[in-house]
Amino acid sequence: MPPRKGTSRASLAGLMLITAFALGTFSGLGVLLGPEPVANEPNLFGLTFPLNGTVRDENGTPVADVNVTYGSVNVSTTENGAFGFAEVPLGVVDLEFRSKTHANLTIRLFVSSAQTIDATLPPSGAEPRRVEHSSYSSVGLVYQYCGFLWLGCALLALLGGVAAYRRRAWGLALAGAIAALFVSPPLSFVVGGVAIFLLVRGKREFVRLPKT
């Protein structure tokens, strides 16, 4: 049986996995109980996609000189009501349409590939309109899934952390360290990666339970 005194690689890995549990719990509950996703935020992966479309009025007539904006980027529609952006970041985007001859319109969408948006402006004098594009309808389910996934990974990280701190069940400890990689990227990549390194180097510190 390995010595129980002093700080070991396994116990340090256990503390890191318990930290990962806290990160994953915070991230998971933040998604499940928090407000709706923030639009126009830079994404971690740096992915962008083209987005174009046409702006028309309620009669189907193209509307020119409409200011189309997402974040701090804006373009104007052509005589045919067409607009386009070469690079729109992956994620939730609020596409805003401002016209001198029509009421304002905001379309919330989820950009994950090249998209074409057909916008219909409200008539002049109407209340500003805010609508959700069909691409955004599944985002809530995706966020719920991610929240439960993070909580599940956090729980596995906790079990692995306890196993590592007690220096028992090396396989469970390693599984917890792998799960810790995904509890709250990108910070968890560091926590989980270091925990995996410590567990691999400290495997001999674990108690081998007798076979039954």
Pairing assessment for the beta strands 129-132 and 48-56 based on DSSP bridges: unpaired
Higher pLDDT: 16 or 209? It is 16
C-alpha distances in Å from residue 157, one per residue of 56, 57, 88, 180:
52, 54, 35, 5
Contacts of 194 (CB under 8 A, 6+ apart): 13, 16
Domain of 62 in residue numbering reads as: 48-137
pLDDT tens digits for 116-174? 999 999 999 899 999 988 888 777 777 778 889 989 999 999 999 999 999 989 999 99
In a domain, 2, yes or no: no
Q: Same domain for 118 and 79?
A: yes
- Residue 193 forms part of a structural domain: yes
Instruction: Decide if 175 is inside a domain.
Output: yes
Bridge-based pairing state of the strands 73-76 and 105-111 = unpaired
pLDDT of residue 1: 44
Dist CA 193 CA 64 (whole Å): 53
pLDDT at 44: 60
Q: Any idea of the CA torsion for 109, 115, 118, 124, to the nearest 10 degrees?
A: 50
- Residue 133: CATH number of its domain: 2.60.40.1120
Answer yes or no: is pLDDT of 199 > 60.
Answer: yes
Q: Is 191 part of a structural domain of the chain?
A: yes
41 falls within a domain? no
Helix (H, G, I), strand (E, B) or coil at 142: helix
Domain boundary, last residue among 115, 137, 159: 137
pTM of the model: 0.57
- Residue ending a domain, among 81, 112, 137, is 137
Shared domain check, 131 and 53: yes
Q: Indicate the pLDDT class of residue 210, thresholds 50, 70 and 90.
A: low
Same domain, yes or no: 13 and 70: no
Total domains present in the chain: 2
Residue 42 located in a structural domain: no
| 24-79 residue pLDDT tens | 998 888 877 876 667 777 766 788 999 999 999 999 999 999 999 998 899 999 99
Q: Are residues 54 and 70 in the same domain?
A: yes
pLDDT exceeds cutoff 60 at 3: no
What's the confidence (pLDDT) of residue 151? 92
